[in-house]
Each structure stands twice: as structure tokens, then as C-alpha cells.
Amino acid sequence: MNSLAFLRCPSPLTRASTSAYLPVPSALIKIRRSRRTAAAHRIAAQKPSRIVAMAAAAPASSVKEDLPTPLTSASEPPPLFDGTTRLYVAYHCPFAQRAWIARNYKGLHDKVKIVAIDLADRPAWYKEKVYPENKVPSLEHNNQVKGESLDLVKYIDSNFEGPSLLPDDAAKKQFAEELLAYTDEFNKALYSSIISKEDVSKETVAALDKIEAALGKFSDGPFFLGQFSLVDIAYVPFIERFQIFYSNIKNYDITEGRPNLQKFIEEVNKIDAYTQTKQDPHFLLEHTKKRLGFCNGSSSSYVDICFRAATSPRWHNQTDWWKSGEKKNRLYMSYVCPYAQRAWITRNYKGLQEKIKLVPMDTADKPAWYKKVYLKNMVPSLEHNNIIIGESLDVIKYMDSHFDGPKLTTNIFFAAIKDYDMAEGRVNIRRFIEEMNMIEAYTQTKQDPQMLLALTKKKLGV
């Protein structure tokens, strides 16, 4: 039984959490979103660090576009496939930003309509009627929908009028393909140091040095191919974020000793097509910091900033709101904890999104009162009928026997870091994995595999 409920996930509770903002009924979700917007403005009013200030100093766009409000699960779809070309994006997603920049640079503001999606509260119709991959960006054009950010940049360049994003020079075209093929490796190398408690790694330094060298290959401009191109579009959303994150999280200036990279950042911030898409650097920083979490004392981990937007205000601990006597069903969990994920999947699969409220814990900064809820001070735990049940497998069995919904058998999750395919020669396991990945209740809880791998390697000392 697939769960089609796309419920928004609340922000993890910390030591600073209070009852100042108690859970609100679903009817008030629109108010919650406006508070989140207000929170972003409050963040912007804070005193910036050096790099955040530098990022914020980018010139304003000469073309002021009124951007639409992101669509949520409560939003009706636009009139799909009516001849309108639509680019579906999330404003703070770097992958969507690529296609957005390309659209702007080609001057397609009037020809390609922006449709913003709230990734934390995605409309069900987006997957069902628009893009089955359920990701952004995607482009609705000529009664077809295309996806994958780099493919979309190329498609927009070749199918719409406007300045070309790829030069005619054969050597530059070849170099462009090499750099585009390197984007994932570059991003992985840079993200790996962010999730680590260690200093900036040799791999990260080498990746930045490679970009520095690439920016110096052609002398006819400050960009990767000399003049602005689709290669710059591929890298700049991530370089924008890495400059902010590394300065503030690692106290490391990615441009130090790299004059080409410094020049690239200065010059790209003169291009309106890019600056039109930039988000508040304070918001990006705080948004990312919230995604650095722990699971029962494990090392920090990074959850993809595109798919884990902050969705509700923090609660503070000057209260015992949990003693209120309300007979609520609450599942205390952490978004990045595999044990908590077991209980989360069960709750989703049995269709209990309305009956069991998620209460996420920031396990790196747990509220002191949580230990009064569950003495072991771990996640998951389930509050039901004025009792607390702990231990993930026990919680699964309890939910299965005490709540309505399809019956379950316990699933034991396996993860490995060996070069070994556990499904090879085991057709039933392979089939099991394939079928599980068709169940929304499970896929809604999955985390980025690269993040999980890095987190496990660090925990095991590999």
C-alpha cells in the first residue's frame, strides 16, 4: 500500500526548543509558511560574516522579475500541456538554479514561465502528472517534460533563441565536455569536507586547485571557456554555496591563493542572469547548518539542501509542553538516524501521517526535557496512550499491532562499504529492493546515499 501523503517535515528540536510555537493543525499550514519566510528575513538582518557579506554584495539584477510563490501539496496544478513552456524549480536548489540561469541568460523570461515547487511540501500532482522522477528542475515544452539539470541547460541552449552558451571552437567544446563530466566529482569532494569534523581534506584542496587551473586554460576571458558558457552555469551555483559554507563552517577561504577563482567569482557576479537567481547567503548558510545533524552521538552528516528545507520555527526548552496531558501520538525521531527511519517508514506505510505526529530531534543538540520523555535519551521513541515505547524494532511491532493499516513484518536493513553487491545471485533480494523503492512510504524517508556512506565510514573509522 503506497502512501500518497506528502506531509511537510518539521525542523529538528534542539536544546533551545520551547513551546512558544506549538504544533498547528493542517489548516494553518499557510501561516507556517509565511513564518518561515519571515524567518528568512530575520536571518538576513543579522550581522554577516566576511564571506557572507561578500556574497551579499553582488549587484542587483537589472531585470526585476516577480517570482511566483512556491506551490505546495495544497496548490492546484497549472493548466498543464496547454502550450505554455514551464520551468519547474526550487529557489534554493543549486541544480534547479542551473536551468534557471540558462533561461535568464537566453532572455527567455517571457517565453519560459517559472513554476516554483516547495520541496518540503511537494504537490502530489507534480510526480503524477508532470515529472515522475519528482525532482527539480524539469522543463515542460512542446507537450513533453524533460529533466536533469545539465541536460536541460543544453536543451534550452539548442532549442530557444538567444546568445549561445557553447562556443564554436572545437578545443573549447572538448574541454567543456571534460569539465561537465567532472562536476559530480567536484561537488562530492567539496561536500565531503563539510560533513567531516577534520580539517579541509587533501581531496578538497586538489579539487579546488583543479578548478583554479581550468579557469586559467583560456586567456580570452575570466570564465572556464574564456567567455561565459554552460560550463560556468554548471559550476557557479555550487561555488556560490561552497564559498559561504567553507568560510563559515570551516573557516577556510576557497579563493585564497587561487586568483583565477577569485576573478571568476567577481566577474560572474556582474552577470544579471546569475544574480537574478541568487538566494540570501545568510539563509543558505543557516539552512545548511540545520542539515548538519547527529544520530545518537554519531558524527555530523549533511542532508541535501534541496530536499530538506526548514519547515517550522524552533522550539525552546523553557517549558514542559510534553506534560500538557494531551493524549497525542508522537514519534520522536531524527531525520538522519537509520533506527528512527525504521519507525518512520512503518508510520508512513500504515498511513498514520494524521494519527502519529513526527517530533524530530536534533540529536547533536537534544532538548534536556527529552530525557524526561524517554530515559535512554535516544531515538526513536513512540508516545502513545500516556506510555513511551523505545527501541526501533519494538516500536515497529507496537505500531503494527496497535494501529490500523496493512500488517507488516520486520525489515532488517543492511548497509556495507565493501566492494560487494549483496544482491548479486540473489534474485529475491534484488526484487525486494526494487519493489521497496516503489513504495512512497519508504522513499519519503530515504536520505542521500553519499551522505550515508560518508557518515558510516567516519563512524567506523574507515
Q: In a 3-state reduction of DSSP, which class is residue 225?
A: strand
Concatenated DSSP letters for 17-76? B-TTS----GGGHHHHHHHHHHHHHHHHTSPP-HHHHHHHTSPPPSS---PPPPB-TTSP
pLDDT digits (tens, 9 = 90+) for 29-72: 333 333 334 444 443 444 344 444 444 433 333 557 889 999 99
CATH class of 170-275: mainly alpha
**CB-count burial class (<10 Å; 0-12, 13-18, 19+) for 420:** exposed
CATH tag for 60-164 (out of 3.40.50.970, 3.30.413.10, 3.10.580.10, 3.40.30.10): 3.40.30.10
Dist. CA 69–CA 60, nearest whole Å: 20
Question: Which stretch of DSSP H or E encloses residue 392?
Answer: helix 392-402
Dist. CA 154–CA 229, nearest whole Å: 11
The domain segmentation of the chain, as residue ranges, is 60-164, 170-275, 308-460
The answer to whether 341 touches 445, Cβ cutoff 8 Å, is: yes
What CATH topology corresponds to 308-460?
Answer: Glutaredoxin (3.40.30)
The answer to whether 115 touches 72, Cβ cutoff 8 Å, is: no
Q: What is the spatial order of strands in the sheet that 381-384 belongs to?
A: 357-360, 330-333, 381-384, 387-390
pLDDT digits (tens, 9 = 90+) for 94-140: 999 999 999 999 999 999 999 999 988 889 999 999 999 999 999 99
The answer to whether 357 touches 23, Cβ cutoff 8 Å, is: yes
pLDDT digits (tens, 9 = 90+) for 139-183: 999 999 999 999 999 999 999 999 999 999 999 999 999 999 999
CA distances from 50 to 101, 122, 134 (A): 26, 35, 37
What pLDDT was estimated at residue 86? 98
Dist. CA 137–CA 131, nearest whole Å: 10
**Most distant CA pair in the chain: distance in Å?**
72
Give the CA count within 13 Å in the CB-facing half-sphere of 405.
26
**Amino acid at site 146:** K
Same fold, 170-275 and 308-460: no
The set of cell numbers assigned to 373 is: 520523555
pLDDT digits (tens, 9 = 90+) for 354-380: 899 999 988 777 888 888 888 888 899
